[in-house]
């Protein structure tokens, strides 16, 4: 434009020269516009014109967006984390689960599918799920008031629990105030509970440990209670069976008149031996009298009479011992042996059932699972939250991204309008 003014002012030039100068100037402007941004805003700048009102509006809008999305949030975050945010103290503990149940023999009361190590892993998973469940919140409420811990007026409004919080709100709040992790190789559990005073954090962690131990043992005790009822039923059935078998043996004894087969046989043999000894003695005396006084003596008649009676008694005893009749010893031997064998088997079964019952009673009376914390719950000296540097860094990233996105959108809109 300056060159054009010079051409106009130079009136001494001929018309052809003026046309040539004007063509050169226009060619130079065309080359400049080819390499510049072809927006109307740049065209105005090249032409030396003042920026339009719309450009001023967009510039102010970009500045406002930057202030609103970055400057103000960063100032608010700095003020909050430095002066307002309530400090949170974290108490931590490390523990493992241990079982105190004695190793049972491989009978029907010992599991052949779940080994002790697998059982500990299972109990650890149950414990961690219990800590994260609504049941933990309910059990905590039975012992302490969580609103006294987390809804105090001394806690800043952004951190405190709402006074009208329902159960779901309390559960979400609780999940933000504890962390738990387990080492899959060693089974060591690291548990951390946060609160707004050091003593509250430690007390709450100790309560969580105690409730977790009780919950795991409650599940195990339910299993052992069922097993205790089953073994008690086995003992009652075996006792009834032994009573019935003893009644059958008693009936056989009453019907046969024999208390014990071996004792009866021994007694019969002793009596028979005594009778045969008496017979032999009388026969010796009889032979001696015959040689001394001869046949027909009155003493011989008495001896003969006694000999006949003893021989008849001996024959009866031999028949009683060897006969196969029902009322003889050999006739009752099979019934006695069957009854005594069944009674012995029933008593062995009762003895085994009683042993199992005592074993289950012993195990069920024990605390089967212990939370063995090899480090004590810590009493924190310094707050763990908020982490000023880290929180401000995250705020810088978040609000910087939001500001860049917002300002970029405004700049893109201006470009599209151009």
Contact of 159 with 205, CB cutoff 8 Å: no
Question: What is the side-by-side strand order in the sheet with 89-99?
Answer: 178-182, 189-195, 89-99, 369-373
Residue 172 and residue 120 share a domain? yes
If asked whether residues 260 and 338 sit together in one domain, one would say yes
State which residues form the domain around 257: 236-364
Is residue 20 domain-shared with residue 111, that is, in the same domain? no
pLDDT digits (tens, 9 = 90+) for 204-225: 999 999 999 888 888 776 666 7
Tell me: pLDDT of 94 over 50: yes
- Shared domain check, 98 and 226: yes
Q: How much is the pLDDT for 137?
A: 92
List the structure tokens of 320.
């009683």
What's 95's domain CATH number?
A: 3.30.1890.10
The sign of the torsion formed by the CA atoms of 391, 397, 401, 404 equals positive
Q: What pLDDT does 200 receive?
A: 92
Q: What are phi and psi of 365, to 5 degrees?
A: -80, -10
Residue 212 and residue 125 share a domain: yes
98, β-bridge pairs: 370
| 93 within 8 A of 379, measured Cβ to Cβ | no
Contact 106, 112 (CB under 8 A): yes
25 and 74 in a single domain? The answer is: no
The pLDDT of residue 116 is 58
Q: Please tell me the total count of domains within the chain.
A: 4
290 and 341 belong to one structural domain: yes
* Residue-level pLDDT at 109: 45
Q: Name which residue leads in pLDDT, 316 or 61.
A: 61
pTM value is 0.58
Segment of 41-45, 60-64, 281-285 carrying the highest mean pLDDT: 60-64
Same domain, 178 and 153: yes
Q: How confident is the model at residue 105 (pLDDT cuts 50, 70, 90)?
A: very low
- List, in sequence order, the alpha helices (H) in 176-197: none
Q: Say how many C-beta atoms besides its own lie within 10 A of residue 243's C-beta.
A: 11
Nearest Cα residue to 39 out of 63, 62, 55, 56: 55
How far apart CA 414 and CA 62 sit, in angstroms, is 10
For residues 208 and 303, state if they share a domain: no
- 318-365 tens-digit pLDDT: 666 555 344 444 556 677 677 778 878 888 888 888 888 787 777 666
109 shares its domain with 219: yes
Please tell me whether residues 377 and 396 are part of one structural domain: no
Mean pLDDT, residues 102-116 = 45
Indicate whether 136 and 178 sit together in one domain. yes
């Amino acid at each position: 434009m300056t060159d054009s003014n010079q051409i106009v002012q130079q009136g001494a030039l001929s018309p052809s020269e003026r046309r040539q100068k004007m063509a050169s100037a226009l060619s130079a402007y065309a080359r400049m516009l080819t390499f510049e941004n072809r927006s109307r805003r740049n065209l105005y700048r090249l032409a030396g014109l003042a920026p339009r009102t719309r450009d001023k509006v967009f510039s102010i809008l970009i500045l406002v967006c930057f202030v609103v999305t970055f400057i103000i949030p960063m100032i608010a975050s700095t003020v909050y984390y430095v002066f307002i945010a309530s400090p949170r103290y974290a108490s931590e503990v490390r523990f493992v689960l241990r079982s105190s149940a004695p190793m049972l023999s491989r009978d029907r009361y010992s599991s052949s599918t779940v080994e002790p190590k697998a059982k500990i892993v299972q109990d650890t998973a149950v414990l961690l799920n219990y800590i994260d469940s609504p049941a933990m919140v309910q059990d905590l409420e039975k012992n302490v008031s969580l609103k006294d811990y987390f809804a105090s007026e001394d806690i800043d409004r952004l951190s405190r629990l709402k006074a009208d919080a329902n159960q779901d709100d309390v559960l979400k709040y609780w999940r933000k105030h504890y962390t738990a992790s387990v080492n899959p190789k060693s089974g060591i559990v690291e548990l951390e509970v946060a609160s707004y005073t050091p003593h509250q954090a430690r007390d709450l962690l100790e309560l969580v440990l105690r409730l977790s131990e009780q919950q795991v043992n409650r599940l195990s005790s339910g299993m052992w209670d069922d097993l205790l009822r089953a073994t008690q039923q086995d003992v009652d059935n075996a006792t009834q069976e032994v009573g019935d078998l003893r009644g059958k043996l008693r009936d056989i004894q009453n019907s046969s008149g024999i208390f014990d087969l071996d004792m009866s046989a021994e007694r019969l043999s002793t009596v028979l031996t005594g009778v045969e000894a008496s017979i032999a003695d009388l026969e010796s005396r009889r032979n001696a009298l015959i040689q001394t006084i001869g046949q027909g003596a009155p003493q011989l008649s008495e001896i003969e009479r006694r000999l006949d009676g003893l021989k008849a008694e001996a024959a009866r005893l031999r028949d009683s011992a060897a006969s196969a009749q029902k009322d003889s010893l050999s006739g009752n031997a099979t019934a006695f042996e069957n009854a005594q064998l069944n009674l012995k088997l029933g008593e062995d079964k009762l003895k085994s059932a009683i042993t199992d019952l005592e074993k289950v009673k012993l195990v069920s009376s024990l605390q089967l699972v212990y939370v063995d914390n090899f480090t004590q719950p810590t009493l924190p000296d310094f707050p763990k939250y908020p982490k000023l540097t880290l929180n401000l860094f995250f705020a810088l990233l978040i609000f910087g991204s939001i500001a860049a996105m917002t300002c970029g959108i405004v700049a893109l809109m201006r470009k599209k309008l151009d």
